[in-house]
Chains A and B, each alone.
Chain A
Amino acid sequence: MNRMKKVNSLGVAGVAGVAALVLPFIGSDYTVSFSIQLLIFLVLAYSWNWIGGYAGYTHFGQVGFFGIGAYVGSLLNFHLGVPWYFAAIIAGLAGALTAIPLGGAMLRLKGPFFAIGMFGLTRVLEAFALGFDSVTGGGTGIYLKPVSDLRPVYYVVAAVAGVMLFLTWKLDNSRLGLKLLAIREDEDAAESLGIPTTRLKIGTFVASAIAPAAMGSLYAVYLGFIDPPTAFAPNIELTTIAMVLLGGMGTVLGPLCGAVVLSVVNELLWANYPQIYLASVGVIILLAVLFMPRGIVSLGMKTGWVTVSRPLFRRLAARHGEALS
């Protein structure tokens, strides 16, 4: 096999890490601001990839956890003066705590009904945020004390994104990852082969709710403001899913590729032409479903530039083979 042509993932990670560290010092405020948005979406995409890409559950409710986190963090910060980084941690925990009972109920539904149930529940959460205006400020929203320097926020978000990437790489090379893929491929067969599907699904659902909730809280800090349509924005859900699908569902690098491409589209269109932006994301999803359901990364695998998924198992199997012969 031609090893020279392969992208050396460790090298790429190193270069990206260094670039991420120095960016705030050499980039403009605009660059930092753009990067924060990109990284927040990257974290959302990696979280969605766990439940949607690996376990195969179409999750149309992730932005619900994003919104819960945004409100928990903002309220703590606004009323109690909890510092934003600490508020983000609590927001993440709140996301997990909400996800446990919700997952227990909603994951009784298989694939498509889980999708419509979560889709509806997210709208309900938005309605609650609007309706309980004595707590949330309703439609007026909450204005936070602006952060003077966005760089610390940038570093926190970048660190979380790095952790998500690492965890996904670990998952991709673990038996847990294979078990999730088995649920995606054929849940009933997986169940009757002794894979504890219910436990794994709920676990994945909860795990994939934590980071989005924390990101919601940080997003509020980044904007200095939160209201129900921002916190539970359907376009965040749409963009996240489009990123994972376009990049490659159930892969390590897919969300990264998708996030970079769509963040640029977002930056070009969202501010001035929101309708055109949303419609084009819809078109991108449609085209990906029709013509490239495995995403950009699969093209890379075909050309041999990117390592095929789950290299660890291949390597171990090869080593085992060598030991025998």
Chain B
Amino acid sequence: MPVADLLIGGILLGGVYALMACGLNLIFGVMRVINFADGDILAIAALSTVSIAVGFKLPFWVAILVVPLGCAVFGVLIHLLILRRIEGAPMIMSLLATYALSTILVNVAILIWGGGYSGLPGVLSGSLRVLGVNVSISRLVSFACAIGVSLAVWWLLEFTRFGRAVRSVSRAPELASISGIAIERIRLMTFALGTAMAGFAGVLVAPAFAVDPQLGSRFIVKAFAVIIVGGMGSYPGAIAAALLLGVIEVVGSYLAGAVIGSAFLFLLMLAVLLVRPRGLLGAGMRV
């Protein structure tokens, strides 16, 4: 078994999961909404990146700037048109709403881009040797950026005024509103930040993976497993779980084939649920 190959491959894959899981955690913490459309925003961002670079022949960095911004604007629209209007409603309503949104986005994406795969040849191509393993530069860059952004968001939450406000809204919304925090604005900004993170993840995925409209549903399922294993709402838990699950997926695929390999994640998820319902690091909120 090529241990180093698999380890590095898994960790690199885990980076994107970590970024997604942190975005989902952020949104859930503040809004008590699980954004099922997160993966589809990622997929559309990746497809848009391909269109920008291949279709419009613009440089890659244009996509890095434009796509996350576009996703943030889209997030603002979703929040204003949908989520804000069902704030007091039972949780099942927001679950159904984002689930419906996810379906709409996938199918609109198929109508626009078609169902096939596309890629971004020539961007960040080539490979490096790390610990005696050939690693493609695109994956290395996407990993580094994903973990970088995840850590940056964590830092933002822990050490800035915005972060303090976000944390107090997640913990006690009533109290936060009494102490003069504009809850609505925090929620709006958080959701926009969360969708921008999904958009950024999409840009990172485009050069490293084959991209198609169904990409989002494949990624989000794993991000969900990461959240449950890492313990809901825990950022260090999410990052650790993402890397662990990335490795398990890659090793599983090596041993049992790509299709069944990804199922290993969920066996681990079930095991974690039975043994440590609050997540691997035990830091997640009890829900």
A contacts, CB < 8 Å to B: 52, 56, 58, 60, 105-106, 108-113, 115-117, 119-121, 123-124, 127-128, 130-132, 184, 234, 238, 241-242, 245, 249, 275-276, 278-279, 281-286, 289-290, 293
Which chain A positions have C-beta within 8 A of B86? Answer: 289-290
Kindly provide the distance from the CB of A300 to the nearest chain B CB, expressed in whole angstroms: 21
Which chain A positions have C-beta within 8 A of B3? Answer: none
Q: A111-B92, A112-B34, A275-B107 are in contact. Are A285 and B99 (CB under 8 A)?
A: yes
Which chain B positions have C-beta within 8 A of A113? Answer: 227-228, 232, 287
Bound form: Cα–Cα A58–B221 in Å: 16
Which chain B positions have C-beta within 8 A of A115? Answer: 34, 95
Bound form: Cα–Cα A281–B232 in Å: 30
Contact B270 A105 (CB under 8 A): yes
Q: Does B238 contact A (CB under 8 A)?
A: no
Smallest CB-CB separation from A138: which chain B residue? B259
Q: Does B110 contact A (CB under 8 A)?
A: yes
Tell which of A105, A184, A281, A290 touches B273, judged by Cβ atoms closer than 8 Å. A105
Tell which of B85, B108, B227 touches A116, judged by Cβ atoms closer than 8 Å. B227
Tell which of A108, A132, A245 touches B96, judged by Cβ atoms closer than 8 Å. A245
Contact A289 B96 (CB under 8 A): yes
Q: Does B257 contact A (CB under 8 A)?
A: yes
Bound form: Cα–Cα A111–B28 in Å: 13
Contact A286 B100 (CB under 8 A): yes
Q: A58-B96, A279-B104, A290-B82 are in contact. Are A120 and B225 (CB under 8 A)?
A: yes
Tell which of B82, B89, B277 touches A293, judged by Cβ atoms closer than 8 Å. B89
Bound form: Cα–Cα A275–B222 in Å: 24
Tell which of A120, A131, A286 touches B97, judged by Cβ atoms closer than 8 Å. A286
Bound form: Cα–Cα A66–B262 in Å: 21
Q: Does B1 contact A (CB under 8 A)?
A: no
Which chain B positions have C-beta within 8 A of A52? Answer: 92
Q: A285-B96, A285-B97 are in contact. Are A132 and B103 (CB under 8 A)?
A: no
Contact A293 B101 (CB under 8 A): no
Kindly provide the distance from the CB of A266 to the nearest chain B CB, expressed in whole angstroms: 14
Contact A289 B273 (CB under 8 A): no
Q: A119-B221, A124-B263, A128-B260 are in contact. Are A282 and B101 (CB under 8 A)?
A: yes
Bound form: Cα–Cα A178–B19 in Å: 42
B contacts, CB < 8 Å to A: 28, 32, 34, 36, 82, 85-86, 89-93, 95-97, 99-104, 106-108, 110-111, 217, 221-222, 224-225, 227-228, 232, 256-257, 259-260, 262-263, 266, 269-270, 273-274, 277, 287
Bound form: Cα–Cα A241–B97 in Å: 11
Smallest CB-CB separation from A249: which chain B residue? B92
Which chain A positions have C-beta within 8 A of B111? Answer: 275-276, 279
Which chain B positions have C-beta within 8 A of A289? Answer: 82, 86, 89, 93, 96-97, 100
Bound form: Cα–Cα A279–B37 in Å: 13
Contact A112 B91 (CB under 8 A): yes
Contact A131 B263 (CB under 8 A): yes
Kindly provide the distance from the CB of B41 to the nearest chain A CB, expressed in whole angstroms: 15
Smallest CB-CB separation from B227: which chain A residue? A116
Kindly provide the distance from the CB of B4 to the nearest chain A CB, expressed in whole angstroms: 26
Bound form: Cα–Cα A285–B94 in Å: 11
28 contacts between A and B (CB under 8 A): A58-B95, A108-B273, A109-B273, A111-B91, A111-B92, A111-B95, A112-B34, A112-B95, A116-B34, A116-B224, A119-B36, A123-B221, A131-B257, A132-B260, A238-B100, A238-B103, A242-B100, A249-B92, A278-B103, A278-B107, A279-B108, A282-B102, A282-B107, A283-B104, A285-B96, A285-B100, A290-B85, A293-B93
Which chain B positions have C-beta within 8 A of A132? Answer: 260
Which of B222, B262, B273 has most A Cβ within 10 Å? B273
Kindly provide the distance from the CB of B269 to the nearest chain A CB, expressed in whole angstroms: 7
Smallest CB-CB separation from B106: which chain A residue? A278
Which chain B positions have C-beta within 8 A of A249? Answer: 92
Which chain B positions have C-beta within 8 A of A234? Answer: 103, 217
Which chain B positions have C-beta within 8 A of A124? Answer: 262-263, 266
Contact A283 B224 (CB under 8 A): no
Tell which of A106, A127, A130, A283 touches B100, judged by Cβ atoms closer than 8 Å. A283
Bound form: Cα–Cα A286–B82 in Å: 8
Kindly provide the distance from the CB of B210 to the nearest chain A CB, expressed in whole angstroms: 18
Smallest CB-CB separation from A101: which chain B residue? B270
Given contacts A113-B287, A116-B228, A245-B96, 14 further A-B contacts (CB under 8 A): A106-B270, A112-B34, A119-B224, A124-B263, A127-B262, A131-B256, A184-B90, A238-B99, A238-B103, A279-B103, A279-B104, A286-B100, A289-B89, A289-B93
Tell which of A117, A130, A242, A293 touches B224, judged by Cβ atoms closer than 8 Å. A117
Contact B100 A108 (CB under 8 A): no
Which chain A positions have C-beta within 8 A of B228? Answer: 109, 113, 116-117
